[in-house]
A and B are shown apart, each in its own frame.
Chain A
Amino acid sequence: MFSAAVRISAAGIRTAVRSRPCFTAPLAVRCYSHAKPETDEEFDARWVTYFSKPDIDAWELRKGMNTLIGYDLVPEPKILDSALRACRRLNDLASAIRILEAVRDKSGPHKDIYPYVIQELQPTLRELGISTPEELGLDKL
């Protein structure tokens, strides 16, 4: 009687296991989300679109910039270009200069990032008339 019980219980265990494939398969298949991680280009495109909104309002600009600076990365020049143009639409020169300051601060010890970003943004800066913080002496105490 005991062996019969063991046989029945073994069958029961097998059927229970079959309905949950992730436990039978080895470690290769885990119960993780199936979403694809966002690529760098998708990330950049998303943020460029965000700042390119024609009727963006001041709150959205602030929220976007503060969120972007919160990420563990230095934003691409094309995102910053979009943000600076958003500042222009909102008639806010001070925020534009602040964004450049924040980018320089975000680069941290990597001193070559900020000059590259400024170099890439030169056409936009000249077109919109935005001075860099260095030109205005804001990087000195």
Chain B
Amino acid sequence: MLHLTTGRLGSLLSRRAVVALSCSSVKMSTHGHEVSEQADMSLPMYWDRLDTPLPDKPYQDTLTAADKSLKQKEMGPWTNLSKEEKLALYRLMFKATYAEMRKPSSEWKTVMGGIFFFIGVTGLVVLWQRFYMYPPHPQTLDDEWKAKQVKRMLDMRINPVEGFSSNWDYEKGHWK
């Protein structure tokens, strides 16, 4: 590991590697407090999907005593369950209903707002560049210079057959 490292980043990596090798039993706690709790992807997971009505596991795993007694009641005839109990059973099993899954979010407003904001910032940057960075105005773009340039091109008979000078009427002295 050590012989591969060059520069500061390299030495940092080697230091971590040495620490890892030397104290393998001690957890690398350098950035443990930043990492949030991650779902264990090796176990069945719950998700709300329109095309998967019955996910791999119920939404609520840990049932309170009241939930457990409700589950017991579920084993009997469902006609004995009240509306609230049926709703409670549904919410134990599932997080969002299909209507809630389909609910539109306002995310597009944030996205469009962000787009316009950054376009605006870019516009300000370009404006600043116009005043502080652009080189001086080239004289060849002045109307006076351009007129003299056109006159010179006509005098030189540039493309007289079908191109530039062919549009100039040399007898009358104006454009055709």
Q: What is the CA–CA distance of A3 and B55 in the complex, to the nearest angstrom? A: 74
- Chain A residues positioned under 8 Å from B83 (CB to CB): 131, 135-136
Interface-lining segment among B25-33, B73-81, B142-150: B73-81
Per the 8 Å Cβ criterion, residues 85-143 of B in contact with A are 86-87, 89-90, 92-94, 97-100, 102-103
Cβ-neighbour of B86 out of A97, A99, A104 (below 8 A):
A97
Contact across chains for A138 and B78 when beta carbons are under 8 A apart: no
With contacts A69-B51, A93-B78, A129-B81 known, is A102 near B93, CB below 8 A?
A: no
Query: Distance (Å) between the CB of B175 and the closest chain A CB?
Result: 62
Count contacts on A: residues with CB < 8 A to the other chain: 31
Which residues of the partner chain B approach A131 to less than 8 Å between Cβ atoms? 83, 86
Q: Chain B nearest CB: distance from A121 CB in Å?
A: 14
Q: Show 27 A/B contacts (Cβ-Cβ < 8 Å), sorted by A.
A: A61-B54, A62-B54, A66-B52, A66-B54, A69-B52, A92-B74, A93-B74, A93-B81, A94-B89, A94-B93, A95-B93, A97-B90, A98-B54, A99-B53, A99-B54, A102-B53, A102-B98, A105-B102, A129-B79, A129-B80, A131-B86, A133-B98, A135-B83, A136-B90, A138-B87, A138-B97, A139-B99
Name B's A-contacting residues (CB within 8 A).
50-56, 58, 74-75, 77-81, 83, 86-87, 89-90, 92-94, 97-100, 102-103
Additional pairs, 10, CB under 8 Å, beyond known A93-B74, A102-B50, A139-B98: A62-B55, A65-B53, A66-B52, A93-B90, A95-B93, A98-B90, A98-B94, A101-B53, A129-B77, A129-B81
Chain A to chain B: the 4 pairs with minimum beta-carbon distance, closest first: A129-B78, A94-B93, A129-B79, A102-B53
